[in-house]
Structure 1
């Protein structure tokens, strides 16, 4: 069933819209400013609220329709600058005030002229998090939410992956937020410097210059807390409490979004603790935009975001008592890449686990035709050696952790001899991977710490295209031990004639800082004492775990 059913045309003739700028004061004396998009009608209407730190005029139009369009569908739409952002007063502190300020905003908004008291929340990324914070406090005041691309566990879902700090993404975000603060102060020089630094984050020199600039202009940026903080009470103190949320939620994610695991975790947590409907949509998108193309692949017209129309139907059901608006919709639908169509699922996760082993003649790093992926358990006695040189670390390419997210063609990068390469035989029939792949790798190293960068790709007649990546930081030597690497959840069809390809490297720079190999905390740039790292990968006992779904005979040829 296709979740991209088109909603009725805009109701602009019925609901001409005007914009008003409104303010209210919090209990501690902070003025929060907002734009209200008000349909011209005497009919009391429900209200949609988005709270965000990027200047309310943007209103997340990088992925959503303009709030005027939502107002034309018969809603009051309120877009608010959070504390210390846009024209709102106070000091911006990442996530610190969003629960209290959000709850106070909702109570105020319910009393606005023309509001019937029913409130829904929408928005993605930081705007998705403001929904969770507010809904966790304003119990009973919110009727439905639509959180997109977020994560309630700030350590595991935002700052790190596999125990490693997300260097490039965190630095880029910190530069953006501090640039907006400079803009508020009308500090033109700092604005220009921060903006220019944000355009240079693909190189080590650019990373070093940006971090130095941030230290100079914003030494109290969250970036430095996130870079240095282990998993401790710091993270729990600022995390949203989901335990009180008991309302319908439409969870929205993307296969190449860095926060997909957080989106799925939020969905699963709320599904377990409440009987209120929890719906899930995952498209073939990076964090933004949500269109038909991600990375180097065009996924076709079906990939164009259906979320605006779906959100209107979602809020119509819960804020206007129109459940029939969702009558033909599946609760869970994900975009099946390869077939490039939406697929309904009975639940998440789904599928049957399939085990693939690795085998090699010892030359899997040197040649792409020597490492093998084999269905079932392997007893190959040959091991592979992999050497990481910190002078020339393996770069991050595509995937979900870099600034240029999405699938990329990997044949050129896999000519490198510091990447292990394992290939299956061509498939005789299709294979559908749907869920979270995991790699169990038995390896040992000559250094106290090392990283594992794992990529799954699809070899087709047109190239080698990655579709899932994972990263893991190993912090101590446990000779002969095995290590799990969780890859990005995915729904990927491999067709007859395709090969499944597994790649393993020891760096993904600059998405993650280069591990110095000596047990020290990694830094933004490669330190002079960074070590050459050699690992020995044992084929026997190592395996790839794939969640697979049976392909119906009716769509086998698709």
Structure 2
């Protein structure tokens, strides 16, 4: 097909082996259309066999499509043009639905912004509604490992299209090697030399969330009156879960159409039963292909799939390894667990506690003064990223060895007397100060099993001193990845705090410079002191505890 500015875009089209007409399912993606997102979805031929014309298109400047690729820059107009073209394919009944995850999820949002008349429904998976907060940065910290890895992949495709084997091989080698880069400054000499037009440089040079760059590219800027039936899909260990939920909430609050949400136990890919070191069982194997067929049957074929009578929210419980169907995404009142330490929470897991009541802080017996729990972040040996949603490999992993480091402070509850269901958003309020203007706080919440295994199930990160300035009353809130997990009786909860999670995020140099301007040799040793107990601003974990009667 040709776009309105006469750029040729290429697609593979799969037809059912039957008499039409048929609705069209469209996916637009930048990785070469033969892949067709089969890393998470069934092959397009499977969808075609269910009575759909399936179109898998290379976006502008990717695969064999003509034009220059600029991240998300042309996807509104090109998406609208493609929907119109697809609706007029031979054998089409004029109706188009879209599916796909990640970039392929974003192309759905951009196409919907143009409101083409033939587009009847979309199924966006793992997307960024706010490109800054849902993809490029988290808590003001640049998402280093994921952003650089993706930039290398896209740059290598550009080199392939340009017929530059030396550039392709160099990019491929770095992308497939262990992540060994400057932990402080995320600038990439290789990308600057071989891919000077990469989005990566723009993302790194725009650390301000209010910058016009983010406003121009974020779907939420143009969302306005977009209204379609939408199937939203995410994963508890996906780095874009924030965006999936942001979009879902936006639509559920105002849409006149059905909005369904599925969140599985998955990382960005694949969507299987085993994530990290946990086998979540057969229920965790992705049902999304069958779910999407039911969705498209309902909204493109008019078949009653009974979706109107089902609960709209389906969440995988990381504890029971089963799906829970709810009337809305849970938002129960937050239940606090207070941090209680004696100044030695970095020296062993027996010193820091999570308690349901704010108890007395540990005191120096000679002076009667409250003793903070201090840890020292050393840039020579920063706390490494481990599992979770922001690093590779992702998912739940045993962090008991990591928690034994003296630059990690831990607070552990008593063993649970009853099962505890946590579902929704988790906040960690940390009352602390540091001996530098700028520092980082990483938080992980874990299940401590009776056998001593420590499995983290959610994490969050915050950079302080730039867009989250130090406060006179030093209390900072870290938003953890939302979750759904029923912890069994006998297990305990643990909060772990540290000053780094490298290389998921750049190590904070401590001087307040932006990451692109920081230098490794200038990185400072940083002491952070966490206050607990009965101080004026006590530290606490705010848990979304759900009672069984509320489900």
What is the TM-score of this pair, normalised by structure 2? 0.93
3-state SS of paired residue (1:425): coil
Match in the other structure for 1:16: none
Match in the other structure for 2:531: 538
Q: For 1:382-531, what aligned pairs fall within 5 Å after superposition? A: 382-462=371-451, 463-475=453-465, 476-523=469-516, 527-531=520-524
**Matches of 1:524 and 1:175 in 2, distance apart?**
21
Aligned length in residues: 531
3-state SS of paired residue (1:204): coil
Asked if 1 retains the 8 angstrom alpha-carbon contact of 2:83 and 2:116, the reply is no
Match in the other structure for 2:119: 142
**Which stretch of structure 1 is more off in the superposition, 223-232 or 193-202?**
193-202
Task: State the 1:378 CA deviation.
Answer: 3.4
Alignment root-mean-square deviation, CA: 1.8
**Matches of 1:207 and 1:92 in 2, distance apart?**
29
Task: State the 1:208 CA deviation.
Answer: 8.2
Match in the other structure for 1:7: none
Task: State the 1:343 CA deviation.
Answer: 0.4
Match in the other structure for 2:224: 243
**Matches of 2:183 and 2:382 in 1, distance apart?**
16
Deviations 1:62-106 (A, max 9, x none): 000000000000000000000000000000000000010000011
Task: State the 1:522 CA deviation.
Answer: 2.2
CA distance 1:357–1:144, change in 2 (3 Å): same
3-state SS of paired residue (1:270): helix
Asked if 2 retains the 8 angstrom alpha-carbon contact of 1:383 and 1:538, the reply is yes
**Matches of 2:177 and 2:188 in 1, distance apart?**
11
Asked if 2 retains the 8 angstrom alpha-carbon contact of 1:243 and 1:273, the reply is no
CA distance 1:525–1:180, change in 2 (3 Å): farther
Match in the other structure for 1:262: 243
Asked if 2 retains the 8 angstrom alpha-carbon contact of 1:390 and 1:526, the reply is no
Match in the other structure for 1:53: 30
Asked if 2 retains the 8 angstrom alpha-carbon contact of 1:333 and 1:343, the reply is yes
Q: For 1:309-388, what aligned pairs fall within 5 Å after superposition? A: 309-326=290-307, 329-380=310-361, 381-388=370-377
Task: State the 1:205 CA deviation.
Answer: 6.0
Q: For 1:19-38, what aligned pairs fall within 5 Å after superposition? A: 24-38=1-15
**Matches of 1:338 and 1:450 in 2, distance apart?**
34
**Matches of 1:478 and 1:331 in 2, distance apart?**
41
Match in the other structure for 2:266: 285
Q: For 1:65-104, what aligned pairs fall within 5 Å after superposition? A: 65-104=42-81
Match in the other structure for 2:364: none
Match in the other structure for 2:180: 203
CA distance 1:294–1:35, change in 2 (3 Å): same
Q: For 1:122-141, what aligned pairs fall within 5 Å after superposition? A: 122-141=99-118
3-state SS of paired residue (1:47): strand
**Which stretch of structure 1 is more off in the superposition, 460-469 or 391-400?**
460-469
Asked if 2 retains the 8 angstrom alpha-carbon contact of 1:85 and 1:181, the reply is yes
**Matches of 1:293 and 1:114 in 2, distance apart?**
40
What is the TM-score of this pair, normalised by structure 1? 0.92
Task: State the 1:379 CA deviation.
Answer: 4.0
Asked if 2 retains the 8 angstrom alpha-carbon contact of 1:200 and 1:206, the reply is no
Unaligned 5+ residue runs, structure 1? Answer: 1-23
CA distance 1:378–1:210, change in 2 (3 Å): same
**Which stretch of structure 1 is more off in the superposition, 196-205 or 101-110?**
196-205
Task: State the 1:186 CA deviation.
Answer: 2.4
Task: State the 1:544 CA deviation.
Answer: 0.7
Task: State the 1:189 CA deviation.
Answer: 1.6
Asked if 2 retains the 8 angstrom alpha-carbon contact of 1:455 and 1:502, the reply is yes
Asked if 1 retains the 8 angstrom alpha-carbon contact of 2:24 and 2:52, the reply is yes
3-state SS of paired residue (2:188): helix
Task: State the 1:527 CA deviation.
Answer: 1.3
Task: State the 1:204 CA deviation.
Answer: 3.2
Q: For 1:160-309, what aligned pairs fall within 5 Å after superposition? A: 160-204=137-181, 211-229=188-206, 230-231=208-209, 232-240=211-219, 241-309=222-290
CA distance 1:361–1:239, change in 2 (3 Å): same
CA distance 1:193–1:67, change in 2 (3 Å): same
